[in-house]
Structure 1
Amino acid sequence: MSHLLFALAAWCLLAPAVHAAPSLAEQRLAFRQAWAVAQQGGDGWRSWATGLADYPLYPYLEEAALEHDVDTLDRATVADYLKRYPDLLPAADLRRAWLRSQARKQHWDDFLALYRSGLGDALTCDALHAKLAQGGTLDFERDLAALWNSPSLPGACDPVLDAAHDAGLLTSTRLWARIDRALDAGQVGTVAALASWLPGEEGTAAARLAQALRDPAAAVADATHWPDTPRHRQAAALALKRLARRDTDAADAGWKRLAPRFSFTPAQRDGVLYALALFHATDFDEHALVRLASLPADVQTDTSREWRARVALARQDWPAVLAAIDAMPAGQQDEDEWRYFRARALAATGQADQADPLYAKLAQEPTYYGFLAADRVQGDYAICPLNPPDDAQREQALLDKPGLQRAFELFAVDLPHLARREWSRALGDTDRDTLRIAARLAYERGWYDRAVFTYSSGEALRYYDQRFPLASQDGVVPQAQQAGIDPSWAYAIARAESAWMSDAHSGADARGLMQLVPATAAQVAKKNGLAWQGGQSLYDPAVNIMLGTRYLAQMAARFSGAPWLASAAYNAGPNKVDQWLAERGNLPPDLFVATIPYHETRDYVARVMAFAVIYDWRLYGKALPLASRMPAIGQPYSLPDVHTPRKDVTCPTAPASAVATAGASR
């Protein structure tokens, strides 16, 4: 903050006596400082906002200060702001904040005076609470039916639901309907809470359904003493399916005990057998292939069919691979993964005359499997770039939209979350072509994630410059070189992790462009003798890239430098990769990736490897062969440089194939 204060003070001192309108750069500087002050509450921000009255983001300053002081505001102050800025997002934010404050204090008259519907479940329930507090009554269909369809509700709804229960509105039929929705969503807390409102044996059965979700092993053990009623059968079947995911052997033993104990319906029996077969497959058990193949046709799913193929791949049983792919429906067979492995299996069974045409066709697609296929036939990589079309008139019309102006300004002053909200509101009902023009405008301003997410289908997949930006200001190339890793791979990781959202934040507290957890980043900084300024610093792209490339280097060093294994470790953790290597470390890289048990990690490795090819082409005009980034397990990896031989990139004669979505999507 101090350098901003100094810069702004210097600007004020040097300003000419005739007060010219501040430039846009000066307004942005003033806004940043005023914003920092406004977030502390009070009116101090106003002295920093001189010259900002006409700046598009001016209303955000007042709202930030008011929201900080929301517990002390009177209704008139809030109503005045809402009247002046009725259609702006800051007004909606202030309304919500003030309503939450009034609800906490149970100032229901003030709450209802400014309440509007459609502000979320918590405030909807607060409004019903206010109604009850003022002597009103509840009607289930009018007041609760929409809320009741949610498998989970916020705590603000508890007083309302208690009142509805006391009023006799929550019948057993209604309670069971919501319990079933909560079971489908895995919301054990909701099931357990509602169980207490059911009478006698119904309540007991509901509590056992909650136990099946929460502790399936205990539920399977206890089920030998349960009565054979419909709801207890439901609980037993659910517990067996949940246990199969965690411990297939225990689930097998439980099934042997409970199958004769309960009169399971055909659907319940098939559901348990399906779960047992599927999770034995993900464990790559000895009899997994037989279990999967013996499932009735109407029980099979795309997931069970693909796992039949993955188990066969793990065994390198090529006839079984072909049989598994043949058992898939046509649409699944046509996915690029299974076209590649059909060709792989045909080649391995001496049918190169059938395999080579499949490889050649697949090699015309700019995807992970397309690049693997091109390597198999020593072909060029197929990439057909396009640029978004120019449309100056429509661009100017977009730039004239106040909402989009606010979005671009919020991005320019480093408030990307608020920028995305304004973007979504300004363009929420926009047609596809206009949205793509807006994405181009965003890209030209360095707001790359808008292009990444917008150019996600059809011809727009060929906008490679915009979808795979070279964000040189973030220091990817020099930091990767200093860390001793391939810059193209570092770019690919950042692209896959965050799609260039510098403020990306995962549920696991991973942050920034390369999605580093603060604890890991602190360890990396210490190990490399780098400054560590805390978790918030990970939202600074330069800091994030500096630490992320070093962590990538650590992962690479652990796996003989191999980018593909290090990518898997970056996503799933190195210990998991060690476990998979101990179990299937004899497999070629493409088969190993296909047999990674986690769908997320399989997809992640494929995307990163495809993105690395594309970024290599973006950097050098040619592309390092994908196979060279996927050395055999245990084989040392040689870091490429500008002199390393690279493959030509060409556009096939039928460029429609170049817009395939798999592998190089998002």
Structure 2
Amino acid sequence: MSELTIEQQRKVFSHAESLAHNPKSQIYKRSLAQLDGYPLRPYVEQKTLIKYPYMANQKAIESFLDKYKYSPLDWPLRKKWLAYLAKQKKYDLFENYYRDIGDTAINCQHAEILLKDEKSKQQAFNLAERYWVVGKSQPKACDTLFRAWKKAGKQTPELVWKRLSLAADGGDHTLIPYLKTLLPTKQQYLADIWLKVRRSPSQVSRISNFPNKIANLEQEIISYGLKRLVWQDRDLALRSWEKLSKTFKFSDEQKKSIFHRFAISLALINHDQAELWLEKASHYKADEELARWHLAHVLRQLNWQQALQVIQSIPEGVVEANIFQYWQARSYENLKAADLATENYAKLAEERHYYGFMASGKLSQMANLNDRPLTPSQQNIEQVTQFPAAQRALEFRNIGRQVSARREWNFLQSQLTPEQKATAAVIADQLGWHDQAIFGFSKSGYLDDLARRFPMPFDTHLEYNAKKNNIELAWAFAIARRESSFMPDAASGVGALGLMQIMPGTARYLTKKKVSKSFLFNPEKNVELGTQYMRYLLDKMNNNPILATASYNAGWRRVQKWLPEKDPIPMDLWIETIPYKETRNYVKAVLAYKQIYSQHLGNKNNSFKQLVKMEIGPKG
């Protein structure tokens, strides 16, 4: 064990990483000795072995991979080692160390080795099919395997068609011309149709595109095209279906898929044929999405009796969802069946979720939080923190390497029991690692520790800026919780950054200047802009927090398009018919989070008492 302090070892670790390329140097050897017992020492060793994945280091690599199997320390070295062994034609060794690490090139090399043995040849061909029948190009390392597979007669027209369909339907459509050449001559015209419809779904409306030579395959393309077209031009899609359905005999599975897509697309905009298509789609077994939109459509008409009929027709296992329980109660309420409504509301109000809070608002009672803090023993806490992955994660966090810390902490979850996962979440919360505490409780299944699942970090900044912008503090907390789980360096796939997930364009508009990523990753600056943006949206939306919340997710211009044309509609119905699923769920979550934070902040009122009476007015 090194006699250095932990602070000294951190400095040595940083220096040792830069020396990893020169493991024979005395400075490197001395540094490693000084890191004895330091949790991150294996990362220095890994870096050296990755730099020198040679036979001379076989024993060291084998020992390392065995010790850190499946951890974040494993796959970078295993990938490098397997690539070296394949290049050196050390096939037996390759197979000894091989496991699927999600690298297609390595997987193909494994399958190619299996080809060399008659006993495992069929297994290799099965793998070749799995890797070839995908909607994208594969690495060149797979070419030899694919050639052998094709030469053995395994590349059938059916598999070519399957891959072409995958490439056309959501994959890389530039593969289509190549795959066309692999089809039998009589089928090659289908590739041209696929390409046309992929580029422009409206091509499905041109009946002349479909000569009905190979009806079952043409129907696949038509089905794909119609399901895309109905989102772009609903009336053209309806006219096209009317014509095409007279020429082609679509399978029940194809009809189910087409009807489902048409029904939801038409219901979204309250199309005059929505009811017809919802009924058509409901002849097949309805899933929750279809049932929800069927219900939403009849609710738009304020047809409460039909709403009950729709709910009663929903398959068992779906109808138990809290959304249907709530709207059943609402239907009873509007049909003057007060006792049934109250009974349903009372049952829902026992639960902690959006619909439960809505029910509590209907009953004019306080929302039930069901808060049961978890109190793991000190022994359980120490047991979890003794896991090497936990020690590596926490040390990475101490030195500011958040991505590596999360990677190790995520790996730790795979080693824990549900009880230990909940304990790990408590540990994360105690350390102020709020995003991992929130995710940890979710993974453990323990959801009743509300103080830890809904923490209040950055409270000084949030409170100051909420007051400055005249917005509710509970709302600001709710937005930050929903946007990033309080992860200061959160980055979304669309470019939103930081605690409150500010888009760089929004930041530029608010500050009147270009801002950097580091600026938006600063919690204080991010909160300042996020709350300023919330105020901006409130002003745009006539001080309506429901519309402002929806706008935070979808943009205020889009939300304005969703407002009713004429008469006001109840707030809960407007939320239920928001066209975007992401925004619909976002608004429900933020409203529920806001109530939880409001009660945590000492507010004795249930905001849902006002929300259940609110109406959303028409545009303008």
TM-score, normalization: structure 2? 0.84
Are 1:128 and 1:160, in contact at CA under 8 Å, matched by a contact in 2? no
Q: What is the CA–CA distance in structure 1 between the aligned matches of 2:176 and 2:377, rounded to whole Å?
A: 55
The answer as to 2:182 corresponding to 1:197 is yes
Are 1:388 and 1:463, in contact at CA under 8 Å, matched by a contact in 2? yes
Q: What is the CA–CA distance in structure 2 between the aligned matches of 1:587 and 1:160, rounded to whole Å?
A: 63
Structure 1 stretch displaced more, 365-374 or 53-62: 53-62
Structure 1 residues 268 and 607: CA distance shift in structure 2, 3 A = same
Q: Which residue of 2 aligns with 1:644?
A: none
Q: Which residue of 2 aligns with 1:643?
A: none
Structure 1 segment 465-504 matched on structure 2, within 5 A: 465-472=451-458, 475-504=461-490
Q: Of the candidates 339, 350, 353, which is equivalent to residue 367 of structure 1?
A: 353
The answer as to 2:159 corresponding to 1:174 is yes
Q: What is the CA–CA distance in structure 2 between the aligned matches of 1:517 and 1:141, rounded to whole Å?
A: 51
User: Unaligned 5+ residue runs, structure 2?
Assistant: none
Q: Of the candidates 34, 37, 57, which is equivalent to residue 40 of structure 2?
A: 57
Q: Of the candidates 590, 595, 598, which is equivalent to residue 616 of structure 1?
A: 598
Q: Of the candidates 109, 112, 127, which is equivalent to residue 146 of structure 1?
A: 127
Q: CA deviation at 1:523?
A: 3.1
Matching residue's letter, 1:472: F
Q: What is the CA–CA distance in structure 1 between the aligned matches of 2:178 and 2:63, rounded to whole Å?
A: 44
The answer as to 2:106 corresponding to 1:120 is no
Structure 1 residues 634 and 611: CA distance shift in structure 2, 3 A = same
Matching residue's letter, 1:453: F
TM-score, normalization: structure 1? 0.79
Q: Of the candidates 239, 242, 246, which is equivalent to residue 260 of structure 1?
A: 246
Q: What is the CA–CA distance in structure 2 between the aligned matches of 1:518 and 1:230, rounded to whole Å?
A: 48
Q: Of the candidates 147, 156, 159, which is equivalent to residue 163 of structure 1?
A: 147
Deviations 1:305-347 (A, max 9, x none): 2211111222323233223222222433322222222222222
Q: What is the CA–CA distance in structure 2 between the aligned matches of 1:394 and 1:256, rounded to whole Å?
A: 65
Q: CA deviation at 1:595?
A: 0.4
Q: Which residue of 1 aligns with 2:408?
A: 422
Q: What is the CA–CA distance in structure 1 between the aligned matches of 2:237 and 2:126, rounded to whole Å?
A: 38
Q: CA deviation at 1:272?
A: 2.9
Matching residue's letter, 1:60: Y
Deviations 1:195-240 (A, max 9, x none): 4321212333255345444432123326544224211122222221
Structure 1 segment 322-401 matched on structure 2, within 5 A: 322-401=308-387
Are 1:408 and 1:442, in contact at CA under 8 Å, matched by a contact in 2? no
Query: Secondary structure of the equivalent of 2:384?
Result: helix
Q: Which residue of 2 aligns with 1:658?
A: none
Structure 1 stretch displaced more, 598-607 or 414-423: 414-423
Structure 1 residues 55 and 271: CA distance shift in structure 2, 3 A = closer
Q: What is the CA–CA distance in structure 1 between the aligned matches of 2:452 and 2:375, rounded to whole Å?
A: 12
Q: What is the CA–CA distance in structure 1 between the aligned matches of 2:73 and 2:277, rounded to whole Å?
A: 59
Q: Of the candidates 206, 212, 228, which is equivalent to residue 221 of structure 1?
A: 206
Are 2:350 and 2:368, in contact at CA under 8 Å, matched by a contact in 1? yes
Q: Which residue of 1 aligns with 2:61?
A: 82
Matching residue's letter, 1:55: Y
Q: Of the candidates 410, 413, 427, which is equivalent to residue 441 of structure 1?
A: 427
Q: What is the CA–CA distance in structure 1 between the aligned matches of 2:508 and 2:91, rounded to whole Å?
A: 45
Q: Which residue of 1 aligns with 2:536?
A: 554
Matching residue's letter, 2:553: N
Deviations 1:69-92 (A, max 9, x none): x5xx57368758735733344643
Query: Secondary structure of the equivalent of 1:331?
Result: coil
Q: Of the candidates 535, 543, 551, which is equivalent to residue 517 of structure 2?
A: 535
The answer as to 2:608 corresponding to 1:626 is yes
Aligned alpha-carbon RMSD (Å): 3.9
Query: Secondary structure of the equivalent of 2:569?
Result: coil
Q: Which residue of 1 aligns with 2:558?
A: 576
Deviations 1:275-310 (A, max 9, x none): 323311112112312331344522543322221111
Matching residue's letter, 1:218: Q
Q: Which residue of 2 aligns with 1:638?
A: none
Deviations 1:392-413 (A, max 9, x none): 2232222222121112222233
Deviations 1:112-139 (A, max 9, x none): 977733122433256269869x999998
Q: What is the CA–CA distance in structure 2 between the aligned matches of 1:522 and 1:34, rounded to whole Å?
A: 39
Query: Secondary structure of the equivalent of 1:117?
Result: coil
Aligned-residue sequence identity (percent) comes to: 26
Query: Secondary structure of the equivalent of 1:578?
Result: helix
Q: Of the candidates 403, 412, 432, which is equivalent to residue 389 of structure 2?
A: 403
Q: CA deviation at 1:270?
A: 4.5
Q: Of the candidates 83, 95, 101, which is equivalent to residue 77 of structure 2?
A: 95
Q: How many residue pairs were aligned? A: 603
Q: What is the CA–CA distance in structure 2 between the aligned matches of 1:100 and 1:84, rounded to whole Å?
A: 15
Q: What is the CA–CA distance in structure 1 between the aligned matches of 2:293 and 2:539, rounded to whole Å?
A: 31
Query: Secondary structure of the equivalent of 2:511?
Result: helix
Are 1:219 and 1:239, in contact at CA under 8 Å, matched by a contact in 2? yes
Are 2:100 and 2:107, in contact at CA under 8 Å, matched by a contact in 1? no
Structure 1 segment 297-308 matched on structure 2, within 5 A: 297-298=283-284, 300-308=286-294
Are 2:425 and 2:440, in contact at CA under 8 Å, matched by a contact in 1? yes
Q: CA deviation at 1:269?
A: 3.8
Q: Which residue of 2 aligns with 1:313?
A: 299
Q: CA deviation at 1:537?
A: 4.2
Structure 1 residues 597 and 223: CA distance shift in structure 2, 3 A = farther
Matching residue's letter, 1:633: I
Deviations 1:138-167 (A, max 9, x none): 987333523533634563156346524652
Query: Secondary structure of the equivalent of 1:313?
Result: helix
Q: What is the CA–CA distance in structure 1 between the aligned matches of 2:18 and 2:617, rounded to whole Å?
A: 57
Are 1:484 and 1:553, in contact at CA under 8 Å, matched by a contact in 2? yes
Q: CA deviation at 1:457?
A: 7.9
Deviations 1:525-570 (A, max 9, x none): 337xxxx651244344334333322222322222123222122112
Are 2:39 and 2:395, in contact at CA under 8 Å, matched by a contact in 1? yes
Query: Secondary structure of the equivalent of 1:592?
Result: helix
Matching residue's letter, 1:614: I
Q: Of the candidates 510, 515, 523, which is equivalent to residue 524 of structure 1?
A: 510
Query: Secondary structure of the equivalent of 2:557?
Result: helix
Q: Which residue of 2 aligns with 1:3?
A: none
Q: CA deviation at 1:249?
A: 0.9
Structure 1 residues 603 and 221: CA distance shift in structure 2, 3 A = same
Q: What is the CA–CA distance in structure 2 between the aligned matches of 1:402 and 1:600, rounded to whole Å?
A: 38
Matching residue's letter, 1:484: N
Query: Secondary structure of the equivalent of 1:557?
Result: helix
Q: What is the CA–CA distance in structure 2 between the aligned matches of 1:128 and 1:364, rounded to whole Å?
A: 55
Q: What is the CA–CA distance in structure 2 between the aligned matches of 1:549 and 1:101, rounded to whole Å?
A: 50
Matching residue's letter, 2:472: D
Structure 1 residues 231 and 294: CA distance shift in structure 2, 3 A = closer
Are 1:206 and 1:231, in contact at CA under 8 Å, matched by a contact in 2? no
Q: Of the candidates 252, 259, 272, which is equivalent to residue 273 of structure 1?
A: 259
Q: What is the CA–CA distance in structure 2 between the aligned matches of 1:101 and 1:289, rounded to whole Å?
A: 58
Structure 1 stretch displaced more, 329-338 or 247-256: 329-338
Are 1:313 and 1:591, in contact at CA under 8 Å, matched by a contact in 2? yes
Q: CA deviation at 1:361?
A: 2.3
Deviations 1:615-637 (A, max 9, x none): 111222535513556854369xx
Q: What is the CA–CA distance in structure 2 between the aligned matches of 1:623 and 1:231, rounded to whole Å?
A: 61
Matching residue's letter, 2:228: R
